[in-house]
Amino acid sequence: MKCGDLSLETAGRSAGSGFVETPSLRAAAQRALAYLKCGYPVHFSGPCGVGKTSLALHVASCLGRPVAFLQGDSSLESLDLVGGLRGLHRRKVIDEYVRGVRRLEEDLVRRWADSWLATACRHGYTLVYDEFTRSRPEANNVLLSVLEERVLVLPDTTPEVGFVPVHPDFRALFTSNPKEYAGVYGAQDALRDRLVTIRLQPYAFEEEVAIASARSGLPPDQARQVVQVIASARADPRIRPAPTVRASIVVCRLLASTGRRPRPVDDFVLQVYGDALGEAKGVASFLKRLAEADRSQPGAAQEGGAEPRPPEVGPSEQGAAQRDPATGEAGPGE
């Protein structure tokens, strides 16, 4: 894979990174690298489970610079991003140069320590600020001058000059969930205006199959059966929050490690599906329909038999397939 010239030639799993490159992620990565090359900070936005953090770390690795990783949190303050006075430096000088005269000097000074943002700005690291909207907006104000004027303003407590020029190689990547998610703050307009936002959508079916297979080692034909079940659960409006690609990966990894097949389901596999789908109210009835669907197709249990179908959406759930799989919002046809 070549990233220096902004070309991503091969699809599949990046060596050693665990990142699975699908067509949609490849297109997003190419655009992000082009924006970063021009000096623009990039913001990946989208619901959970669409690969925002993995994509940001993958793009950062393509730049070939050290990465400074920050996790958004409501307890963060500006000093947590920039740095502060941490620790003490003690200096003691004993002067006995002149016989019979003893001169003693001793002082205790608090030491300034850079935090990740200051370190990245000084040395040209790539900053990855994950879920930055989970930090309070006032904590992120320090980023405004960094991204526009290329200057990091230091607080008055620092012993050095009041600003740090941003290194020419400094680049920044941000990720965030939609603002309606719990624990998320609205970012100030001035900061959003400085970011180029690339919106990531839920994976297509074949993309989810490729990711689940690559991340688990399960053969693609078996991973496809798992994703069919998870996609059916995602389309069920009673199962909320809807399962993401992580549920498919969990099931595939368990099956790969235990040597079991995804369909037809036995008690163990059925429980694995239930664990991956979580505690939503509709999971129990969904699993019951899944088991009944497999029992009604006995030929699927034989090698080379017909592939079992996932449980069907009932009449009361018509239109569920037109909902956004991540948000559950109705589409134009509902």
pLDDT digits (tens, 9 = 90+) for 153-164: 887 655 556 788
Q: Rounded to the nearest 5°, which phi and psi values hold at 299?
A: -65, -25
* pLDDT value at 5 more than 60: no
The confidence score (pLDDT) of residue 295 equals: 81
**94 closest CA partner among 111, 112, 82, 106:** 106
User: What percent of the chain is predicted at pLDDT more than 70?
Assistant: 77
Average pLDDT over residues 212-233: 95
* pLDDT value at 16 more than 50: no
Angstrom distance (rounded) from CA 164 to CA 142: 12
Average pLDDT over residues 282-304: 75
How many residues are recorded in the chain? 334
Which range among 53-62, 156-165, 258-267 shows the weakest confidence by mean pLDDT? 156-165
**What number of other Cβ atoms are within 10 A of residue 241's Cβ?**
14
Contact yes or no for 153/142 (Cβ under 8 A): yes
Which range has highest mean pLDDT (5-9, 248-252, 304-308)? 248-252
**What number of other Cβ atoms are within 10 A of residue 260's Cβ?**
14
pLDDT digits (tens, 9 = 90+) for 99-144: 777 777 777 666 767 888 999 999 999 999 999 999 999 999 999 9
297 or 177, greater pLDDT: 177
286 CB contacts (<8 Å, ≥6 apart)? 232, 233, 236, 238, 239, 277, 311
The confidence score (pLDDT) of residue 86 equals: 65
Average pLDDT over residues 199-223: 94
User: Which residue type sits at 175?
Assistant: T
Alpha-helical runs (H) found in the chain: 23-37, 52-63, 78-82, 116-123, 143-148, 189-192, 205-216, 220-235, 245-258, 267-277, 283-295
* pLDDT value at 239 more than 70: yes
Residue with tokens 């902004």: 6
Where are the chain's structural domains?
12-80+120-199, 83-112, 205-322
CATH numeric code, 12-80+120-199: 3.40.50.300
The confidence score (pLDDT) of residue 43 equals: 97
The confidence score (pLDDT) of residue 110 equals: 62
Q: 44-81 burial, b if ≥16 CB within 10 A, otherwise e? A: bbbbbbbbbbbbbbbbbbbbebebbbbebeeebebebb
**147 closest CA partner among 194, 189, 188:** 194
- How do beta strands 20-21 and 12-13 pair? antiparallel
The confidence score (pLDDT) of residue 143 equals: 95
Average pLDDT over residues 89-96: 71
Average pLDDT over residues 3-29: 61
Q: Alpha carbon 284 to chain centroid distance?
A: 29
321 or 85, greater pLDDT: 85
Q: Exposed, middle or buried: residue 162 (CB in 10 Å: 0-12, 13-18, 19+)?
A: exposed
Angstrom distance (rounded) from CA 211 to CA 190: 36
User: What percent of the chain is predicted at pLDDT more than 90?
Assistant: 54
- Identify the bridge partners of residue 176 per DSSP, sorted by sequence position: 45
Average pLDDT over residues 282-288: 91
Q: Exposed, middle or buried: residue 333 (CB in 10 Å: 0-12, 13-18, 19+)?
A: exposed
Average pLDDT in the chain: 81
pLDDT digits (tens, 9 = 90+) for 25-51: 999 999 999 999 999 999 999 998 899
